[in-house]
Amino acid sequence: MNERDSSRHSPENPYAPSRPSKPASVPSESPTHVQEGAPQPEGQDAAFYRAWNDLLGWMREYADAHDGAIFEKEADFPDYIYRMERPYDLPTTIMSASLSDPKGRPVLLVNASPRHAVFKEVVLHPFESHTYRKLTYNPQKGALAEGKRPFTKAMLFELADALFHSDAQVPE
């Protein structure tokens, strides 16, 4: 074995490749939840996910304030599911959520684009309807918007009220 080859093997086992050790400056990271101090996404993407988190908060408020409405998480972001040892830096793990009836049937389903999507949008999809609404982040308004019109908490509550009190729901 020449000098060049011997430097790649450990003295205990000449056939085992040596592994570089983890630098001492890299802190150990717990993969269990959203971590403080993790690098935050920058710019418009960060603002989009903050606005998405606000929308989820409004949905929770609606469910808390109305009997017969339940907030349910439907899916997590792939970044959270497959994060391994990396810190998780988005403000929420929820990628898809719904306002559901007491039996757990979704009435309004919402989802946000994952981080790897080039064009970020939130889709509001009334369940059992062929129509849906798309919201994008409007930097001039600092909020999710349908076109140039900001989507507000009042608009969400109005949409949810119309869906929960419509005759279009499936009869029991």
| Model confidence at 19: pLDDT above 50 | no
Name the residue with tokens 């808390």: 64
pLDDT-derived band at 92 (thresholds 50, 70, 90) equals: confident
- pLDDT at site 21: 37
H/E element, 39: none
Mean pLDDT of 30-44: 48
Q: How confident is the model over 102-150, as pLDDT tens digits?
A: 999 999 999 999 888 899 999 999 988 888 999 999 999 999 999 999 9
> What class is the 43-164 domain?
alpha beta
Task: Tell me the domain boundaries of the chain.
Answer: 43-164
